[in-house]
Structure 1
């Protein structure tokens, strides 16, 4: 009886922990679940725009890393509220991450543009680690 009770307690603990989202505490999902609700634009001009300071959307542990990347990008607008379009350029830039393979992970580079923009902008996203989500300097937040 003690063994069965111990197994039950361990299983309850494992399942209750596995449902935790790996995004920061300040981040909520929009009602449709397709974007995050961002509340702040970064004053750091390198945030998300440099591989040395990527956006950390998390989600890889619960198989939502790529979805979280899209949720993040769907939260952004151009500087004057324009709708953006984006595509994944590819992976780049190894970073240290306890959540990656053997302590390392690759960033994803997305190319972002909007109507009347002069060029595309690279946004670097880390789906292995979680951080406070903000819009990069020069972007807006979708309402």
Structure 2
């Protein structure tokens, strides 16, 4: 009987352990500076101009090193994702195909204000599955729409010239 009493007490005490709120966790932060980017150079209305290919194999492929598009509004952000992905080709100029996944990976940012509608301290990364016919597998690319940085093509891809 004493054994069962001890088990019950142990279960009650372990159930009272401090719950860590998702808002108290340590979140990654890519920048503490406000984005000032107002436009991104373009080849045409549907394709961004990218002049650098990353040497870092993790760039754009892991949540800690996303493509930093950093635009002011959701509309601009959505348009720039498409323009960025349209700017990528395979190493031999192959057309790249992509499909949107659910957003993931919350992070802290000072750039999450959406015009007059709301202010938040958090953003989510956009995830896209990217592939072309010479790749053996698809690649997940992570995009940060809130914070700005040097926009590069991921290693293993080229940037469209025209």
Q: TM-score, normalised by structure 1?
A: 0.77
Corresponding residue number in structure 1 for 2:137: 119
Moved over 3 A (4+): 20-23
Corresponding residue number in structure 2 for 1:138: 156
Q: Give the CA deviation at 1:21.
A: 4.9
Q: Deviations over 1:107-143 (max 9, x none)?
A: 0000001013211100000111111111011111111
Instruction: Count residues with an aligned counterpart.
Output: 120
Of Structure 1 and Structure 2, which has the larger fraction of its residues in strand? 1
8 Å Cα contact 1:22-1:130 kept in structure 2: no
Corresponding residue number in structure 2 for 1:28: 41
Of Structure 1 and Structure 2, which has the larger fraction of its residues in helix? 1
Q: Give the CA deviation at 1:102.
A: 2.3
Select 2:53's aligned residue among 14, 34, 41.
Answer: 41
The RMSD of aligned alpha carbons is 1.7
Gaps of 5+ in 2: 1-35, 113-118
